[in-house]
Amino acid sequence: MATKKKTTAKKTAKKSAKAAKRTAPAKKRTKIVVNPLSSEQRRSLLRVPAGYSDAVSDTIEAWNDNRTVLKLANRTPAQLASMLRKAEQAAEKERAFQQKAEEQLRALTDARMLAEHEVWSTTLALYGVAKAQMRTAPELAGAFEHMSELFARESKKPSEPTPSE
């Protein structure tokens, strides 16, 4: 009877641990735009100058200093500061994502280049052996005609002119 209680207690503990995992707060995720902007919408957006955040910060400061004179409907300096923080956070997330994507793309590009190198190196080695054997086995000339044509086309391409100094 005592062993039955222990297993039941263990099962209950496991279930509550699983429930705790499920209810644990998820990591804060980047808000993804469900409906991305159309080309027309992108064109209609204002282009901000480089270093605009300093200008906005100075503007907020000037606005705070002159609140009695400067009024903008439905906006406050605090709201503008909040909008600036959100824009800066979005820019930082974009930079981090772009860097990560570039690193992944670089790794994929390197893998592709290595694979293509192996394929082409092996193909050229085989073609070299076939060319050497064509004297004794003329049927290889027909089988590797596509390679001969490829190299004939490559040699006919005009070379790039050298820049004159």
- Read off the pLDDT of residues 8-46 as tens digits, 9 standing for 90 and up: 666 566 655 555 555 555 555 666 667 889 999 999 999
- Read off the pLDDT of residues 57-104 as tens digits, 9 standing for 90 and up: 999 999 999 999 999 999 999 999 999 999 999 999 999 999 999 999
Examine residue 90 and state whether it is found in any structural domain, yes or no. yes
Examine residue 115 and state whether it is found in any structural domain, yes or no. yes
Look at 86 and 6; give whichever has higher pLDDT.
86
Q: How far is CA 15 from the centre of its chain?
A: 39
Say how many domains are in the chain. Answer: 1
Q: What is the pLDDT of residue 45?
A: 94
pTM, 2 dp: 0.55
For 3, 31, 52, 102, 159, the CA distances from 36, given in Å and listed in that order, are 59, 12, 24, 21, 45
Average model confidence (pLDDT) across the chain? 84
Examine residue 129 and state whether it is found in any structural domain, yes or no. yes
Examine residue 38 and state whether it is found in any structural domain, yes or no. no
Examine residue 25 and state whether it is found in any structural domain, yes or no. no
Flag whether pLDDT at 50 surpasses 80. yes
Examine residue 106 and state whether it is found in any structural domain, yes or no. yes
Examine residue 96 and state whether it is found in any structural domain, yes or no. yes
Domain that holds residue 111: 54-153
Examine residue 81 and state whether it is found in any structural domain, yes or no. yes
**8-state DSSP, 34:** S
